[in-house]
Structure 1
Amino acid sequence: MASAKEIIVDDDYGADFISIQEAVNNSVTGDIIIVRSGTYTENVLVDVTGITIRSESNNGSVQVKPLNESTGTLLITADNITVSGLNITGASKDSYKNAIFTYGDMNNVTGNTVENGSIFLGSCTLENLTGILYGEMNNVTGNIIENGSIFLGPEISDNLIAENKISNGEEGVHISCCGINNTVSGNTISNCSTGIYEYDQGANIHNNRITDCDYGISLSFASGGIDNNVILNCNTGIFLREACYVDIINNTIASCAECGIFDQENNNGKRIYNNYFNSSLNIRFGAGEGENTWNSSLASGTNIAGGPYTGGNFWAKPDGTGFSQICVDLDWDGIGDLPYNIYEDEFDYLPLVSRSGPQNSVTPSANFTASVTNGIAPLVVEFTDLSKSAVAWNWDFDSDGIPDSTKQNPVYVYRNQGNYTVNLTASNGLTASSKTADISVEKRVAPTWPFVYMTGGLNTLRTVSVIDIRTGIVITKVKTGKHPSGIAVTPDGKTAYVTNSWDNNVSVIDTATNTVIDSVKVGSYPCGVAVSPDGTEAYVTNCGSNNVSVIDTGANTVTATVPVGNWPEGIAVTPDGKKAYVANSGNITAPEDTVSVINTINDTVTDTIPAGRHPCGVAVTPDGKKVYVANTYGGTVSVVDAATDTVTATVDTGNSPFKVAVNPAGTLAYVANEGGTVSVIDTSNDTVIATVDVAGGRLEGLAITPDGKKVYVAHYGSSDNSTLSVIDALNNTNTVTSSVDVEVYPGKIAIIPEP
């Protein structure tokens, strides 16, 4: 420290050096480099430990611009560096337009102005390949960033991002995966695509003010805490992608155009309480198991609405009709006297209410509309509540005087002919009013039976949806095990078998009541399932244990386990029930690309057939003579002669085929391609005769009606929209005749035959 000194830099003469780089090259630990007003066009490498670089005036009059725009303006590879008071322009030709790179530890980047660039904290591999530099324990504080962001790279920890003002960037703050103890606090972020984005980490995000962004805070595979933030005028306040075990506490989320919180996967483990919500739609859910906590224990202490007790959340709407704005609070403790039903069976049991508003001064006025008031059974009716000043709803759909639903906007299926009177009682907890309407249901006609089962896709947990194909309405959801994947229905339509990949079991569903009546333990990571033509056995491919479980459907027990190839997925049983064909898809480390042939009489593998790359889907023609195998990575379909178990043809479909089904006549094979098309193969000559473009993106499910007239296709697009499309297969028309939006991510589908 005896040699530490002040070094003056001026872009004119009369100083120690005329460039910042020269000053750095001639400095030692402890030196302070003072930069006078001026414009410095250079790319600066700071590789001397423990020095300070600051402007003389601290008023932004020091302009640092890149000489080489293909690299960062300021690169810090040493430790204990302080950079303050500079006005730094990013390198506009760089992919991130970074102004400051920091690969060292315990550095302070504070009080700078960054234009058209970002501050990047990260890691780099040394040129001599002797190790990696990680930027940890750095402080980025009090900076102004315009048209840029603060970017935390992977595997860095203990960094502080605080009191910065960030605007007009792609992401205000980006937090990459795998670090720990990073804190984002007290920042003001505006007009960014995403205010704060966090991936696979548990950062502490608190006391930030985020306005006018598409997404205020977005978490992917992330946990941690979000507290005391203010999020205003965003499209979505908080976007929870695959986020679990997140605490969202003491935040204000208001005036969001789409919703306050979008819980895309609706995974469990989140605690969300003492927040102030005030948007037209405060919470939006994707398909999933839910089971989150929406209130803490009742305790003394000022809550976010100013009441004397902490508990749940304040649920407001801009038009003044939110639950917390009109709910009963007879004891005047700031806690609503009714629980708030957030989603299905999830409640905020201690909702906050306003102690200043004139609640309960207006008697509720019950009102609603029905999507249809007459039609043929089964008749799906979607009810929309239009009541005023109500926070609780009680519906009687079938005129029996017994409550059928407490949802605000329920869906009900009238399965039998008759005339019904629907009664809605709307209440604020103190007073109530009622409204009735008549529903007329005509006699059911068998060909109108319109329901399909759909497993949840995209990491959706514990959900199989029953969908009305005419409207796309989910009429009910069946809770199964974790990550339901494959589904098959017995020939009589009475029972469905669903493989739960994360629970290593199969749920048995009674289709008459849509309830799980049994669970069968199978191998590791069950994927596909097929039922024998006589309905006595179900065959389950276990991807993780490379075998097939044979289930006796009468006793719902496993009677045999058959070893097959690596990572078996699709499976199909021949019409005579004597063979089962298993597509062994393999993986990157152990490719397989084969089809195993199981003799179902003695449950042994009798042959192994070479197929294309990564076979997934498999189907057998109704006459049992041919087997079609979809090879996803190969872009082909292998045609197998079932008599000799040899490949006799290879059909080029392209677009990553992965699911295949043959119509009841055996004349056409329909192949679902991940690229968003369905290939139609003429089974007489094994050529593609049509390619049906199914708008909406990646295809997930494919099923053909028992009469062969329609093909159902489930798919989802790039904007979280899910669609069920109908292909007209009558007379080889093969065109999409209708599509309906559905409320859940699509997975595999199965038709529920007419009971």
Structure 2
Amino acid sequence: MILLKTIRNVKICFAIGFVLLLLSSGTAAARRITVGSDENKDFSSIQEAVNAASPGDTVYVYEGLYIENIYLDKEISVRSISGIPDMINITAKNSNDHVFHVNANNVTISGFYINGASDPLKAGIYLENTHGILISNNKLSDNHLGIYLDSSTTNMLNLNNVSGNEVGIFLKASKDNWVINNKVKVNSLDGILLEASDENRVTGNLLNYNIGYGFVLSNSSRNLIYNNFFQNNINVGYEGTNSENTWNMTRKRGINIVGGPYIGGNYWTGPESIALCAVDDLDDDGFCDVSYDLGEGNIDYMPLILHPSAFQGNERSITFSLLGFALFVFAVSIFIVKKVMSWGKGELPEDDVK
């Protein structure tokens, strides 16, 4: 009996250790490199920290003003320590260069106020021939281009505030990227511009008061554009040949960008906040009962109607997503423990079990 209890205790300890190993795998060798103005930090400039980093490392930047242009050519993360962009200002030292020039895959840039790349075709963040990049929770202004993707695929631009540039977000020859949940406002030319860029997904964005166009397609096809809020002088513009772009998804239950009960198309309004689709919603599904013609063969078949509880759904869906992930991790842990506990059952002689 004592032997059986000992074996069970060993199994439990092994199972717990195995779960912890799974959760921490891949991070053991990663380093935490700090950037700040005091002596306790590893470096005083972001570029110095990037130069010293190895793939998999994370550079944490503390509050302050950093005047530099950063070239990033390795698979690392660069994050603000606070997660509050206004507390960490990165201004271009040379306005004729990008503030961040990324020429590596699987990079994260998050939590910065990025500005000062004002010369033509220079960007706050420039991705050159990359994939697997996450650009999240940044504020970009006073650049010629806020975020510029050049020949880049499978990247995500999420929760950025891209305002007060000439062009907010520019995709050139880029495919299969996700542009989601960004605020793209008051840019002097265009909000989002897709040039020779196909099969991208653009959803959950607020495009407000951009002076030229809110959204421009230039020789770009098969993009999916849905659940965005358009409020610009001219919401959509076209250049060249654009085909098979889709402006709504199949109706799906979920809180849309203006608080309605289903996700489908986009919300369309003008600078004076007069809805461009103002017909009755007889079936009360949150969509206009007629489609919205965007010109040149582009049609939103499920344009949204403003709902009183606008913008309250995003926080709710995020909360449920995090809860679901936590439950999933817990269930996997229990499964592994049970599996390990079952190892060796029936292998002990009867005399040892008694």
What's the CA shift for 1:112? 5.3
What's the CA shift for 1:323? 1.7
What's the CA shift for 1:281? 0.5
Relative to structure 1, the CA distance from residue 349 to residue 157 in structure 2 (aligned partners, 3 Å threshold; closer, same or farther) is: same
Aligned to 1:137: 76
Q: Is the 8 A contact 2:203 2:228 kept in 1?
A: yes
Counterpart secondary structure, 1:74: helix
Relative to structure 1, the CA distance from residue 320 to residue 182 in structure 2 (aligned partners, 3 Å threshold; closer, same or farther) is: closer
Distance in structure 1 (CA, Å) of the matches to 2:69 and 2:63? 12
Distance in structure 1 (CA, Å) of the matches to 2:132 and 2:271? 37
Gaps of 5+ in 1: 1-48, 66-71, 81-103, 123-134, 358-755
Distance in structure 1 (CA, Å) of the matches to 2:34 and 2:192? 38
Q: Which amino acid aligns with 2:162?
A: I
Distance in structure 2 (CA, Å) of the matches to 1:344 and 1:55? 52
**Correspondent of 2:204 among 244, 250, 264:** 250
- The alignment status of 1:146 with 2:91, answered yes or no, reads yes
Distance in structure 2 (CA, Å) of the matches to 1:338 and 1:189? 37
- The alignment status of 1:241 with 2:195, answered yes or no, reads yes
**C-alpha deviations, 1:393-421, integer Å up to 9, x for none?**
xxxxxxxxxxxxxxxxxxxxxxxxxxxxx
Counterpart secondary structure, 1:253: strand
Q: Which amino acid aligns with 2:101?
A: L
What's the CA shift for 1:331? 2.9
Q: Is the 8 A contact 2:205 2:227 kept in 1?
A: yes
Q: Is the 8 A contact 1:256 1:279 kept in 2?
A: yes
What's the CA shift for 1:110? 1.9
1:116-265 to 2 correspondence within 5 Å?
Answer: 116-122=67-73, 135-141=74-80, 142=83, 143-147=88-92, 150-154=99-103, 156-170=104-118, 171-177=123-129, 179-202=130-153, 203-223=155-175, 224-235=177-188, 236-265=190-219
What's the CA shift for 1:174? 0.9
Distance in structure 1 (CA, Å) of the matches to 2:193 and 2:59? 31
Relative to structure 1, the CA distance from residue 192 to residue 327 in structure 2 (aligned partners, 3 Å threshold; closer, same or farther) is: farther
What's the CA shift for 1:52? 4.5
1:453-602 to 2 correspondence within 5 Å?
Answer: none
Aligned to 1:703: none
**Correspondent of 1:283 among 206, 223, 236:** 236
- CA RMSD in angstroms comes to 2.9
Gaps of 5+ in 2: 1-29, 310-354
- The alignment status of 1:74 with 2:48, answered yes or no, reads yes
What's the CA shift for 1:115? 3.6
Relative to structure 1, the CA distance from residue 73 to residue 250 in structure 2 (aligned partners, 3 Å threshold; closer, same or farther) is: closer
Aligned to 2:291: 339
Q: Alignment identity in percent?
A: 24
What's the CA shift for 1:313? 0.2
What's the CA shift for 1:186? 0.7
1:358-369 to 2 correspondence within 5 Å?
Answer: none
TM-score of the pair, normalised by structure 1:
0.33
Q: Is the 8 A contact 2:204 2:227 kept in 1?
A: yes
**Correspondent of 1:316 among 257, 261, 269:** 269
**Correspondent of 1:108 among 35, 53, 59:** 59
Distance in structure 2 (CA, Å) of the matches to 1:187 and 1:309? 29
Q: Which has the higher contact order (CA 8 A, sep 6+)?
A: 2
Q: Is the 8 A contact 1:272 1:295 kept in 2?
A: yes
1:708-719 to 2 correspondence within 5 Å?
Answer: none
**C-alpha deviations, 1:487-536, integer Å up to 9, x for none?**
xxxxxxxxxxxxxxxxxxxxxxxxxxxxxxxxxxxxxxxxxxxxxxxxxx
Instruction: Give the number of the structure whose alpha-carbon radius of gyration is greater.
Output: 1
Q: Is the 8 A contact 1:328 1:338 kept in 2?
A: no
Relative to structure 1, the CA distance from residue 56 to residue 208 in structure 2 (aligned partners, 3 Å threshold; closer, same or farther) is: closer
**C-alpha deviations, 1:125-183, integer Å up to 9, x for none?**
xxxxxxxxxx11333435421235542333x1111011111123332111111x22111
Q: Is the 8 A contact 1:334 1:352 kept in 2?
A: yes
TM-score of the pair, normalised by structure 2:
0.67
Aligned to 1:307: 260
Q: Is the 8 A contact 1:78 1:105 kept in 2?
A: no
What's the CA shift for 1:304? 0.2
Distance in structure 1 (CA, Å) of the matches to 2:254 and 2:242? 32
